[in-house]
Structure 1
């Protein structure tokens, strides 16, 4: 029998170990969740409640609370006061984005009022400006004509935002499910939302602009302002297809997207082709921001805020959402997902990709220091 020398044996062990070692960067585990720096780039803190900040700090999250002219939320001025108060308590962990009202659009003085709103919020610490889906779906000008985001009357305000060095968060249109019958929608959360919000359920309003028309107007707007840093909220309303989202990002180098309230739409796709969705995240790792759309609003049985606390305990719900998303994005573990009535296997993204999506990209995009 041929004898193997000591050096040869060691070399053989090293070769076997190298072949057995996992390829590429390691992934995080569930146990890493709280110790990794993270940033939720899309929440709505409509209540001045220290418990939201407490659970965010405990879980390792900075927050971006976004003011929005949404009828189920408090008035914009009240949202601004709440955001400014929470930022004053903890400017390290709490940031906010402002919004301007569409009231009086097209009438003399509207542009100047919008710019004053932006400047006042910037002076108080705002890091971005939000435009909402009411542009294109609800808002009309002073003459009663529907307003779309590519309307040139926005140009001066957008130039003003760009000159101030502020990014724009743009929520345009709705999930594509909004234009489908309830029984053809791909996720339960979309089905429940549009059942509760018939005014935004476009399948019931065929006289309104189509999904394709709204997305085209948004794309023209993004192309019209190449120097403006734009965050396409809710996966730029292209949540139904990572292929379409890739085309959007390729066409608009000034744009990023956030994942807010669209994780289940991703899970439908990754259950069909996990490697395809995983490859999308790896390729566009510098262009994706983690976000949830978690909404802490005043208790009101009549309100229909998009993501009210399901348990009556908002901090606990926030923690549960954050941990479930971490399990899906950062690990390869499976978990049951009620919104798709199935289990979803995690993407197991490499640590460097997770670090960007969960923290570095938001810090860079919103130009935060320290």
Structure 2
């Protein structure tokens, strides 16, 4: 081969190598695959009847799990239930919902039996799980004025019923660890904005209230006492600040899964520090993680307090933007500006089988759902 021919051959080989490096890997998804892959948002809040939200879900190939929750900023529980049942009647393929119970009367005679009847009636109408909220541990008190924690034995009758009927429990316990830090020490702006708008839940301002460690310990004792209960630790089980701590939690409690709702920015802080470690966590625990957003579809209200993610007048547009940004981070190697951390965050580029589990398979298995026809 002449020197010129050898040079041309080397240049061609280099061009092929560069082209291969820039092309999407067949082992991972691209941004263009977003609309092709079935997905499940396992932490969503439908606080109004909104056909637009369902239309966006269908277009983006999302199923939704709307979580009813006893939260003062949301409509009353009966109204949430009515909205969820109406949305499900419109689209049983793309919409599921959970139920919740009130803490009113906790510790009084007959509370457990009434609560069980409430749960069973909701399940008969289509609810696929039960949600408990952070008011248990941070707000609720019994008739004697004592703070109620999730490991209180007075919950046992209800939890035993869930175990026997194979009804999963979604538990929002505690808050992000940022909640116990001064504003200037918080790691994400979305946490900073939420707690500025919700000082009653900002524990740094309430040093006499239970500590983060106390709340996590009560939650862990509860999970240990109910090993047959399908347990979903909402919001990364409030261990969003450390994938190492979350790994230890998952190792200790094989009946537990976690969702990612409203904690993506906390993950991005960690992956910016050590992308390989965060990526390895997702791959190791790929069967225990559910994709979720905490997207909240409420009637527009200029006086409403900040939510996480923030509310918007264009909810279908927000759905699409949040879902696509999360897909870019989890499924592709591409970077993006993340305002909540004031920095660029590179994508994890998780393997296709891992994405399929986190975005769809795990939720269907955990909530015992029958996959829609054709998916």
After TM superposition, list the pairs within 5 Å mapping 1:252-331 onto structure 2: 252-304=253-305, 306-307=307-308, 310-331=311-332
Query: Is 1:251 paired with 2:261?
Result: no
Contact 2:300–2:312 (Cα < 8 Å) also in 1: no
- More displaced stretch, 123-132 vs 297-306: 297-306
Please report how far the alpha carbon of residue 303 of structure 1 lies from its aligned counterpart in structure 2 after TM superposition. Answer: 2.7
Contact 1:65–1:97 (Cα < 8 Å) also in 2: yes
Please report how far the alpha carbon of residue 113 of structure 1 lies from its aligned counterpart in structure 2 after TM superposition. Answer: 1.3
CA–CA distance in 1 between the matches of 2:79 and 2:143?
25
Residue by residue over 1:312-356, the C-alpha shift from the partner in whole angstroms, topping out at 9 and shown as x without a partner, is 100000100000000000000000000000000000000000000
> What's the counterpart of residue 8 of structure 1?
none
> What's the counterpart of residue 9 of structure 1?
none
Q: Summarize the Cα distance change of 1:307–1:186 in structure 2 as closer, same or farther, 3 Å threshold.
A: closer
TM-score (norm 1): 0.93
> What's the counterpart of residue 203 of structure 1?
204
SS at match of 2:64: strand
Query: Is 1:29 paired with 2:30?
Result: yes
Contact 1:99–1:130 (Cα < 8 Å) also in 2: yes
After TM superposition, list the pairs within 5 Å mapping 1:346-357 onto structure 2: 346-357=347-358
SS at match of 1:326: helix
Please report how far the alpha carbon of residue 270 of structure 1 lies from its aligned counterpart in structure 2 after TM superposition. Answer: 0.1
Please report how far the alpha carbon of residue 302 of structure 1 lies from its aligned counterpart in structure 2 after TM superposition. Answer: 3.1
After TM superposition, list the pairs within 5 Å mapping 1:91-130 onto structure 2: 91-130=92-131
After TM superposition, list the pairs within 5 Å mapping 1:32-51 onto structure 2: 32-51=33-52
CA–CA distance in 2 between the matches of 1:129 and 1:111?
14
> What's the counterpart of residue 342 of structure 1?
343
CA–CA distance in 2 between the matches of 1:302 and 1:106?
35
CA–CA distance in 1 between the matches of 2:72 and 2:311?
20
After TM superposition, list the pairs within 5 Å mapping 1:224-239 onto structure 2: 224-239=225-240
After TM superposition, list the pairs within 5 Å mapping 1:135-174 onto structure 2: 135-174=136-175
Please report how far the alpha carbon of residue 164 of structure 1 lies from its aligned counterpart in structure 2 after TM superposition. Answer: 1.5
SS at match of 1:166: coil
Q: Summarize the Cα distance change of 1:95–1:73 in structure 2 as closer, same or farther, 3 Å threshold.
A: same
> What's the counterpart of residue 192 of structure 1?
193
CA–CA distance in 1 between the matches of 2:172 and 2:195?
16
Q: In angstroms, what is the RMSD of aligned CA positions?
A: 1.7
SS at match of 2:98: strand
Residue by residue over 1:253-312, the C-alpha shift from the partner in whole angstroms, topping out at 9 and shown as x without a partner, is 000000000000000000000000000000000000000000011233333262476541
Contact 1:295–1:305 (Cα < 8 Å) also in 2: no
Residue by residue over 1:212-241, the C-alpha shift from the partner in whole angstroms, topping out at 9 and shown as x without a partner, is 000000000000000000000000000000
Q: Summarize the Cα distance change of 1:213–1:86 in structure 2 as closer, same or farther, 3 Å threshold.
A: same
Structure 2 gaps of 5+ residues are: 2-12
SS at match of 2:99: strand
CA–CA distance in 2 between the matches of 1:246 and 1:334?
25
User: Would you say how many aligned residue pairs link Structure 1 and Structure 2?
Assistant: 355
> What's the counterpart of residue 5 of structure 1?
none
CA–CA distance in 2 between the matches of 1:112 and 1:297?
32
Contact 1:148–1:217 (Cα < 8 Å) also in 2: yes
> What's the counterpart of residue 7 of structure 2?
none
CA–CA distance in 2 between the matches of 1:195 and 1:308?
14
CA–CA distance in 2 between the matches of 1:334 and 1:135?
38
Contact 2:262–2:309 (Cα < 8 Å) also in 1: no
Contact 1:104–1:110 (Cα < 8 Å) also in 2: yes
Please report how far the alpha carbon of residue 143 of structure 1 lies from its aligned counterpart in structure 2 after TM superposition. Answer: 1.4
Please report how far the alpha carbon of residue 176 of structure 1 lies from its aligned counterpart in structure 2 after TM superposition. Answer: 0.1
Residue by residue over 1:86-126, the C-alpha shift from the partner in whole angstroms, topping out at 9 and shown as x without a partner, is 01111110000100000110011111111111001000000
Query: Is 1:176 paired with 2:177?
Result: yes
Structure 1 gaps of 5+ residues are: 2-12
Q: Summarize the Cα distance change of 1:75–1:310 in structure 2 as closer, same or farther, 3 Å threshold.
A: closer
